[in-house]
Structure 1
Amino acid sequence: MNSDKKLYTFEEIKQKLANYCVYQDRCHAEVEQKMREFVLIPEAKEEILLYLMKENYLNEERFTRSYIRGKFYLKNWGKIKIKMHLKQKGIHDKLISSCFDEIDENDYVKIVRKVYENYNAKLKGLNDQQKKLKTVKYLISRGFEYDVILEVSD
């Protein structure tokens, strides 16, 4: 038995995990990671996961939609980067694709344009061709699609 883990009752752990999900939308992988902090048998973990899903504390679609909105509208990430990070969290391609309707296409182009213009304006001491190349590379690193970047860079 691992002595550095504090012991809780089953109900206390269930409540702690419910609170963890209430604080912010979580995916299954995050909840399973959090469960590793507690001493639980596999059956108890399964029961807690079922409880969290049944009571709608844990909802993969809601998490995915919230994640997409946050990373796009607050952090200005592109679809490629968002999708990659969601896949790392164990979210399925089908669910990711169906949730991308959270991003309005007009907003998407506006954000790409805004990020392009802001970054491009910061570059000093380069000719136009060098600035454009550096800016395109930057936008690709932010997860934006090459064809969309080219659309706004002309």
Structure 2
Amino acid sequence: MQKRPSFTVSEATKKMERYCAYQDRCHQEVLGKLREMRMIPEAMDKIMAHLINHGFLNEERFARSFARGKFRIKKWGRVRITRELKKRDISPFIIRLALEELDNSEYSDTLRDLARKRLTQLKGLDPRLQKKKLYDYLLYRGWESSRIYDQLEDLFPPG
């Protein structure tokens, strides 16, 4: 059986500085990493305080960049972004700040483009089935159901 390496507080601090500098992290991720390194609670507290005081760890910065990235790259809606941030124990106040990163007109344009692109993939199906599959797809991606209904009305005019 392989023995895991043990770290001094200063070694662990340097390792966590690199970990946080590479990409914005939330407190939960860093605590998980410190647990993996088998650090004792007192050392974890000391390292976390160091990372926060020296700007390596900032929940608001993490949440804002998370929201921007998931929206622009994965085309997630506000509901999914909120849910994922809550999973990471981000406070409701910081989640609200993070969602401010999403420009309303860009948000609407993205939903429209995403819906149209998905609809082309559903060609040949019964219109009711297309509508349901499109709704389910957009809901899974975290878009608000009221916005999805508005989009469906635009794509499937009555009559």
Same fold (TM over 0.5): yes
TM-score (norm 2): 0.91
Letter in 2 for 1:82: I
Give the aligned partner of residue 10 of structure 2.
11
Partner of 2:104: 105
Q: What is the alpha-carbon distance in structure 2 between the residues aligned to residue 4 and residue 142 of structure 1? A: 42
Which residue identity does 1:32 align to in structure 2? L
Say whether the 8 Å CA contact 2:64–2:97 is kept in structure 1: no
Identity, in percent, stands at: 39
**Which residue pairs with 1:138 in the alignment?**
137
Q: Could you list the per-position Cα deviations for residues 21-59 of structure 1 after superposition, in whole angstroms to 9, with x for gaps in the alignment?
A: 000000000000000122322111101000000000000
The aligned runs of 1:67-82 (5 Å cut-off) are: 67-82=66-81
What secondary structure sits across from 2:100 in the alignment? Answer: helix
Which moves more between the two structures, 92-101 or 105-114? Answer: 92-101
| Mapped partners of 1:100, 1:136: distance in 2 | 22
Structure 2 SS opposite 1:131: helix
User: Within the alignment, does 1:128 sit opposite 2:157 as a pair?
Assistant: no
User: What residue is the counterpart of 1:38 in the other structure?
Assistant: 37
Residue in 1 that maps onto 2:62: 63
Q: Could you tell me how far apart the structure 1 residues matched to 2:7 and 2:41 are?
A: 16
Structure 2 unaligned segments of length 5 or more: list them. Answer: 155-159
Divergent runs of 4+, >6 A: none
SS in 2 for 1:43: helix
Task: Write the distance in 2 (CA, Å) between the matches of 1:11 and 1:19.
Answer: 13
TM-score, normalised to structure 1's length? 0.94
Across the aligned residues of Structure 1 and Structure 2, the Cα RMSD in angstroms comes to 1.2
| In 2: Cα distance, 1:103 partner to 1:135 partner | 23
Question: Shift in Å at residue 117 of structure 1?
Answer: 0.4
Aligned length: 152
Q: CA deviation at 1:143?
A: 0.4
Please say if 1:29 is aligned against 2:31: no
The 8 Å contact of residues 5 and 39 in structure 1, kept in 2 or not, is answered as no
- CA deviations 1:44-80 (Å, max 9, x no partner) are 1101000000000000000000000000011100111
Q: Distance in 2 between matches of 1:140 and 1:126?
A: 19
Shift of residue 123 of structure 1?
0.8
